[in-house]
Amino acid sequence: MRWNVDPEAGPIFEQIANAVMAALARGELEPGDKLPSARALAEELRVNPNTVIRAFEVLEQLGITETRRGLGTFVREEVDVDALKRDRIRRAARRYLAEVRALGLGLEEAKAALEEVKEEDGARA
């Protein structure tokens, strides 16, 4: 899994937590997988270890990870990856609709744009 953060793109701890959730949704991480240690990830990202710890705390509060004393942080076996995928796509849809509304367009124009992109990309939806 590639880790990267952008100091201009919002709180770094949120970016780290979102990266873990996105990796789960894409299948790059699976239930039971171990995350890098906070210290190692902080060094890789060149951020304060407390930032990574905060991200791991958020993930634990969301029920996505668990910390096993002396072993590290793991993706919980019980995590509902399908629910995580649905949540992420709903968030993306909300952002898209907000942009459509900000442009003064309606739902039909939004659907048409999605169809155009689907056809251009040869995507399946």
- Identify whether residues 61 and 106 lie together within a single domain: no
Give, in degrees to the nearest 5, the angle at Cα 51 between 40 and 90: 105
* 68: β partners: 72
End-to-end CA distance of the chain: 26
- Identify the pLDDT of residue 84: 92
Q: What is the CATH number of the domain that holds 23?
A: 1.10.10.10
CA dist 93 and 6 (Å) reads: 23
How many other CB atoms sit within 10 Å of the CB of residue 6? 8
Report how many domains make up the chain: 2
4-8, 58-62, 95-99, 117-121: segment of lowest average pLDDT = 4-8
Overall pTM surpassing 0.85 (yes/no):
no
Instruction: Give the structural domain span for 114.
Output: 81-121
Model pLDDT for residues 72-124, shown as the tens digit of each residue: 999 999 999 999 999 999 999 999 999 999 999 999 999 999 999 999 888 55
- Residue with the two structure tokens 């060094």: 43
Percent pLDDT > 70 in the chain is 98
- Identify the pLDDT of residue 7: 84
**Is residue 2, in this structure, part of any structural domain at all?**
no
The mean predicted confidence, pLDDT, of the chain is: 92
